[in-house]
Chain A
Amino acid sequence: MNQIPGRRRDWIQWGFVGPALLLLIAMNVFPLIYSIVLSFTNADLVGGEWKFVGGLNYKFIFKFAKYGQALRTTALFVLLAVSAELVLGFGLALALLERFRGKTLVLTALMVPMMLPQAVIALFWKLVLNGNYGIFNQLLAGLGFRQPQWITDPDLKLLSVLLVDVWMWTPFMMLISLAALNAIPGYIYEAAAIDRASRWRIFRRITLPMCTPLLGLAVLLRATDALKQFDLVMAITGPNDPATQTLSALLYQAVFRDGKVGLGTAYSYVILVLVIALASIFLRYMDSLQAQQEEVAR
C-alpha cells in the first residue's frame, strides 16, 4: 500500500477539516468574540459610531434593580412552571399507562397544545383571560364567582402566564414520562409483587428511581426552554411589565426598543455565566444520581 507523504497528508487533512472549521469560526467563534467586544461599547441598534465605555454596561446591570428583578422573575417562572409540568405530566402518564379504549384519541388530544406555535397560543389565551370579555370570566360570572383581572392585576399576571405555559408544556412532560414508564421491564414489578411490596413502595423504590434519568433530561430540556420564555410574555403582558418581565423580555426591551446593543450584550453574558453555573450543578447532580443507580444495580 502506497504511503501518502507527510506534507501532502497534512494538506488533505486540512482540506477535510478546514471548511467545517471556517464555518465554525464564522458562525460561532467570531460572533462570540465580537459580542464580547460589543458588551464594552455603547453600540446602538440603528448603527452609527460607537465607542468603548469600559465596564459601564456591567456597572449599570448591577446598579439597576430591574435586571436583578428580571432574573428573579425568570427563576420563579422556571421553578413553578417546570415543577407543575413535571408533577402534572407524570401524573397524567401514570393515569394513561394502562391500555383502555380510546387511549390514542386521548393522547392525541392532550398533545395538541404543544404542537401549536407559542405566539398563537398566547394570543388565544389573552382573549380567553381578558378581564372584561374573556370567556373564562364569563364562565366564572355564570357560576356566581368573582371575576379577576387575570392579565392586568399585578398579583395575577405571572400566574396567568404560568397557567398558559403549564397548559402548553404538560403534554411534553407526559410524553417523556410515558416513555420512561414503558421502559421499566415488567419482571421487576413481578419480583416486587412476589415480595409483596406495597403499591406506594413499588412507586417509590422502583418506578420513580427508574424514571429519574429520563425525567431529569425532560426537566433540563424544559428548564432550558422556560429560561428563554419570551413569546407568552410578549403577547400577554408585553416586554416591559415588571411582574412578568423575564430575561428574554428585558433583553428585547433593551436591544430592540431602547436600541442598547452594548448593554444588551453585556446582560447576555451575565446571564450566560449564571446559566452555565446552574447547568453544571444540575448535570453533576444527574451524574451522581446515575452513579448511585449503577451502584445499586451492581
Chain B
Amino acid sequence: MKRCIMMLLATVVMAQGVFAQEKSITIWWAQWDPAVALQELGDEFTEQTGIGVEVHQIPWLSYQDQVFLNFGNKQTDFDIVIGDSQWIGRGATKGLYLELTDWLPGAVDMQTIHPRAARYLCEYPPGSSKFFAAPCETDAIGFVYRKDWFEDPDEKAAFKTKYGRELMVPETWEEFRDIAEFFQRPAQKRYGCSLLTGRGYDSIVMGFQPFLWAWGGAWGDPETFKVQGHLNSAGAVAGLDFFKGLMHFTPEGGTNADYFFNLEAFSNGSTAMVLDYFPFYPGIVATMGDQAGFFKVPSHNGQRFISLGGQGFSISTKTTPEKQALAKQFIAWFSQTEIQKKWITYPGSFTANTELLSSEAFAAASPYNTTFAESLDDLQDFWNVPVYNELIAASVRHLGAALDGTVASADALNALAQEHEMIMMEAGLLEMK
C-alpha cells in the first residue's frame, strides 16, 4: 500500500513537471548583459503568471549561424528570437517570423515607441506598418572618451596653442579628426581614436555608415534597390576617404577593430576616443568611473547619422500556437511602461519608450543614458532585405580592402556597388540586366 501511494505521488509530481514545462517559453539571444537582465525580468514574469521563461544565451560570434540553422528545422528550439535589426527581412519573407501586424498595436502602445525603433526594429519593409517584431533592446553607436585627458589643463593649453580653440567634445567630424591627431602619440602608447573597422561580421559596416550618409552617399535607393550612383557617388567616396584618413590616429591593428577590440583599446587606457555600441559601456563605467565620458557621433555639414543597433522580439512560426500565445503574453507584459522602467535599471538595457527616454530618472541612471537618448533621432540602418548578409559580407571585403590601402576608395566603392547590384538582382529585388 505504502509503495502504491509513493508511486502515485511520484506520478503526480512528474505530471506537474510536465505541465509546468508546457507553460513555458524559450527565448534565444546573444550572450551579453541585457540577456542576463531579461532572464531576471523573465523570472518575475514567471512569479506573476506561472509561465516559465528561459533565456538561452549564445556567444555573439555564432549567434546568427545558430539561429538560422535552427530555423532550418521543422520546429525551432526557441519560441522567441531576439534578432538583429537586419534579420527582419529574411525572417519576414522566408516565413520564419510570425506576422504581428494585427496583434502588436493592440498589445503595445506604439505611440510610446520611438519612431526609428519602430521603423527599423519592428517593420518590414521599413515604414510599411507591417510588424514582425516588438522592440526589445534599442541600440545605437556612440563614443566613449577619456574625460580626464580632455579636462587636463596642460592638454587643454597645448590643444589651444595648436588648433586655436578649446579642447572639448567634438561636434563635427573635422573637430574629431583634430582631436584624434592631437592625442596620437604612439611613442607614449597613446592613440587618438579607434573606430569600427572589424571584418568578422558587420562592425566595419556600422563604422562606415555615419561617414557614408553624412557625406551625402547612401547604400542605395530603398524603392528601386539601385545601388550605382548612390554607394559610389562622389560624396560616398569623400566619406570613405575621410574615414580612411582617421586610420592614421588609431592604435596598432586599428584598421581591423571590432566591438571587442575597441573595448580593449579603451579599457587598457591607451585610446582617447572609441566607438562602440552603448550596451557595451557598463563595464567601462564600472572599471574607469569618471575617467570615461560619452558623446554622440559627430556631424559633417550639419548632417548627422548614427548606425542603429538593437534587436526586437520575434515569434517563431515554427513553434506551437500555444507557445506563440504565451510568447505574445510575455512580449505584451515586457512592453508595459512599468516593466520598461525596471528594464532600464539593468546595465546595458535600453528602451524604445519615448516617455522613459526623456525622463530624468533615465538620464540619472547612467553617465551615457543622455547621450544615448539624444542619439536616437539620428538613427539609420543598413539594408534589412533578405540578402542582408551577402550585402554585409561584400561590404566587409571591399571596405576592408580600401582601409588596408590595397585599392583606392573610389575603386572599392565602384566594385562594391557592382557586387551589391548583382546580389540584389540574384535576389530578385532588382531587374536582371
Contacts and interface: CB of A to CB of B under 8 A. Distances in A.
Contacts of B95: 48
A260 B390 CA distance: 10
Contact of B393 (A63, A131, A154, A253): A253
Interface stretch (A113-121, A198-206, A234-242): A234-242
Nearest to B66: A256
A259 interface: yes
B321 to A, nearest CB: 19
A258 B69 contact: no
A256 B393 contact: no
A46 B390 CA distance: 15
B408 interface: no
Contact of B426 (A47, A56, A256): A56
- Grouping DSSP codes into helix (H, G, I), strand (E, B) and loop, the A interface class, with mixed when no group exceeds half, is loop
Interface string A128-163: 000110000000000000010100101000000000
A152 to B, nearest CB: 4
B253 A46 contact: no
Contacts of B390: 258, 260
A45 interface: yes
A242 B396 CA distance: 9
A292 to B, nearest CB: 45
Given A132-B251, A237-B199, A258-B387, A45 B400 contact: no
Contacts of B71: 45-47
B406 A46 contact: no
A135 to B, nearest CB: 16
Given A45-B72, A46-B71, A132-B252, A60 B65 contact: no
A259 B422 CA distance: 17
Contacts of A258: 387, 389-390, 393
Nearest to B71: A46
17 contacts: A45-B68, A45-B69, A60-B426, A66-B397, A149-B253, A152-B253, A154-B400, A154-B404, A238-B200, A240-B393, A241-B400, A242-B401, A256-B65, A256-B69, A257-B65, A259-B90, A259-B389
Nearest to A259: B68
A16 interface: no
Contacts of B253: 131-132, 149, 152
Interface string B243-263: 000000001110110000000
Nearest to A245: B397
Given A48-B95, A240-B393, A259-B68, A64 B422 contact: yes
B393 A241 contact: no
Nearest to A53: B426
Contacts of B255: 152
Interface string A82-107: 00000000000000000000000000
Given A154-B401, A260-B390, 10 more contacts: A46-B96, A47-B72, A64-B419, A152-B253, A154-B404, A240-B200, A241-B400, A256-B65, A257-B389, A259-B68
Contacts, number: 70
Contacts of B72: 45-47
B57 interface: no
A216 B95 CA distance: 52
Residue of B65, B264, B393, B406 with most chain A CB atoms under a 10 A cut-off: B393
A60 B68 contact: no
Interface in B68-117: 68-69, 71-72, 90, 94-96
A154 B406 contact: yes
A131 B252 CA distance: 7
A44 interface: yes
A115 B71 CA distance: 35
Contact of B256 (A64, A152, A259, A260): A152
B64 interface: yes
Contacts of B96: 46
B200 to A, nearest CB: 5
Nearest to A235: B61
Nearest to B406: A154
Nearest to A154: B404
Interface in B212-268: 251-253, 255-256, 264
Nearest to B199: A241
Interface string A144-188: 000101001010000000000000000000000000000000000
